[in-house]
Homo-oligomer: A and B are copies of this chain.
Amino acid sequence: MNATSATISFEDFQDAHPADIAAALAELSPQAALTLLSGFPVNDQAEVFGYVEEERQAELLGLMTRTQISKLVSAMNADERADLYNHLPEEMQEIILPGLAHVEREDMRALAAHEEGTAGAIMTSDYAVLAPDLTAREAIDKLRREAPEKETIYRTYVVDGERRLIGSVRLQELILADPRKKVANLMEEDPLFARVDEDQEEVARKIARYDVIAIPVVDSEHRLVGIVTHDDAIDALEEEATEDFHKLGGAVSLDESVRTAGLVTLYRARIVWLVVLVFGNLLSGLGIAYYEDTIAAHLALVFFLPLLIASGGNAGAQAATLMVRALATGDVRPKDWGLMLGREFLVAAALGLTMAAAVSGIGFFRGGPDIAGVVAASMIIIVIIGSIIGMSLPFILSRLRLDPATASAPLVTSIADATGVVIYFAIATFWFMRNGAAAGLG
C-alpha cells in the first residue's frame, strides 16, 4: 500500500459523506479504490464500506490481506456485516469468520441465518434496551454509555428479564421526566413490532404507515431479537419496487445494477420469459392456421389483425399493471377480486366501445360494411376479455402464492394476443357464414 499517494487523493474527501466516498470508489479501478479507502481511519473505512455495492465489496476484499479484512469487518455495523457475509462466496466467508471476536461471530451467524426478504435479514443488533425498573436518570446514563455504538437511541425498547418486548420509551420523554421516575411508568406498553420471519416489504410499510424511525423485531416467544431502521426500510421498498418493475417488464428480477451487470447475467434474466412467450405466441399462429379458409377468402381481415390483438394486449397490460401495483402497496387486497372484476368490466366495456368507434370508420373505408362490423364487434369483445385477463391474472397468481408481478405486460399481451386471434376470426367466420357476404383485400 502506498501511503503517500493514498493521503494525497484522500484529502479531497476528508469532509465528504461516507455515501459520497463510496460513490467515488465505484468510479475507480479496484486497486485505486482500495488505495483511496486505506487512507481513512479503520472506523471511517468500515462506514464507507457499508455504502459500497455488493459486487465492489467482494472485489475490494479480494485485494486485501487477511489482517486488513478482519480489521475492516470487525469495525462494521452488525447488520451491514451480516449483509456482506450473506453475499460473499463461501471461500471468502471462511476468511472473514476467524478474524472476528466470538460474540461478533455468533451475532453475525445469527443475523445471516435469516431468510432473504424477511425482517430478520434486514434487522440490526445495534440497539440499546432498558429494564422497566430503571429510573429515568439511570436510563439516560445507560444510553449515554451505549449510545455512540447504537444505530438509534431516540426510541429505546424496554424488555423484561426474559428479554420479552414489553414497551418502548422516547429519549425525549426520559429527558423531560422527573429523573427518579421509573421507566415502567414512562414507557408506552404494547409497542408496534414485526415478527422476525415477516416479509421485509410488510415491515417497511409498517414503518412508513406508522411514521416511526425504527421497529423492534421479535421471535415466536415475543423476545426482542433486533430492530429494523427506517433507512433499511426505504432500501427494502426500493428493492422490491425494482423487482416488481423488472418482473412486470418480463425479466427475471435482477438484483444488480443494470449498468454494471455482466452481459451473461442480463441475457439470463431476459431469455427465460422470451422463449416461454415464443411458445405462447405460437398459439396465436395455431389460431390463424385454424381459420386459414376465412383468411384466404377475406384477406382484408389481416390488415386489422395487429391492431385488434395489440388493443386487447394493451388494455390487458394496463389492467395488470394497475392491479400488480395496487396489490403490492396494499391498496387492493386479494379478497377484492369480485369487486374489481365488476368495476373492470364496466370500464373495459366503455374503453372497447370508444376504440371500436375509432376504428370502425377505417374498417368501412378499407373493407366495406362487413369488415367494419366484424372489426368493431371484435374490438369491443377483445378489449373486455383482454382487460379481464390482465386484471385477474395478478389475483390468480396471488391465490397460488406466487408473486402477482409475474403477470408481466409481455405475458398478459401474449395471452390476450392468442385470445384475440381466436375471437377475431371466430366472429369473422360466423359473420360471413351468416351473411354470405364477400370481401377481399383487392
In this complex, how many residues of chain A approach chain B with their Cβ under 8 Å: the count is 110
- B275 near A303: Cβ-Cβ < 8 Å: no
In the bound complex, what is the Cα–Cα distance between A213 and B153 (angstroms)?
13
Q: Of B274, B292, B317, which one neighbours A299 at CB under 8 angstroms? A: B292
A31 at the interface (CB under 8 A from B): no
- A347 near B270: Cβ-Cβ < 8 Å: yes
In the bound complex, what is the Cα–Cα distance between A421 and B350 (angstroms)?
30
Q: Of B278, B295, B326, B441, which one neighbours A259 at CB under 8 angstroms? A: B326
Q: Contacts A278-B307, A303-B285: A213 and B230 contacting too (C-beta < 8 A)?
A: yes
Q: Contacts A281-B310, A318-B410: A231 and B258 contacting too (C-beta < 8 A)?
A: no
- B362 near A441: Cβ-Cβ < 8 Å: no
- B299 near A284: Cβ-Cβ < 8 Å: no
- A258 near B317: Cβ-Cβ < 8 Å: no
In the bound complex, what is the Cα–Cα distance between A296 and B190 (angstroms)?
75
Interface residues of A in 306-331 (CB under 8 A from B): 306-307, 309-311, 313-315, 317-318, 320-326, 329, 331
A207 at the interface (CB under 8 A from B): yes
Q: How many protomers of this protein does the assembly include?
A: 2
Q: Contacts A248-B248, A274-B318: A258 and B326 contacting too (C-beta < 8 A)?
A: yes
- B307 near A281: Cβ-Cβ < 8 Å: yes
Interface residues of A in 385-442 (CB under 8 A from B): 409-410, 413-414, 417-418, 421, 441-442
Residue interface mask A347-389, B partner, CB < 8 A = 1: 1001100110011001000100000000000000001000000
- B154 near A258: Cβ-Cβ < 8 Å: no
- A267 near B358: Cβ-Cβ < 8 Å: no
In the bound complex, what is the Cα–Cα distance between A190 and B282 (angstroms)?
62
A273 at the interface (CB under 8 A from B): yes
A237 at the interface (CB under 8 A from B): yes
Given A211-B231, A314-B413, 17 other A-B contacts at CB below 8 A?
A153-B172, A208-B231, A213-B230, A230-B231, A244-B245, A246-B321, A246-B325, A249-B409, A250-B317, A266-B347, A274-B311, A288-B302, A288-B305, A292-B441, A295-B299, A310-B414, A313-B410
- A309 near B311: Cβ-Cβ < 8 Å: no
Q: Contacts A267-B351, A288-B305: A410 and B314 contacting too (C-beta < 8 A)?
A: yes
- B258 near A339: Cβ-Cβ < 8 Å: no
A28 at the interface (CB under 8 A from B): no
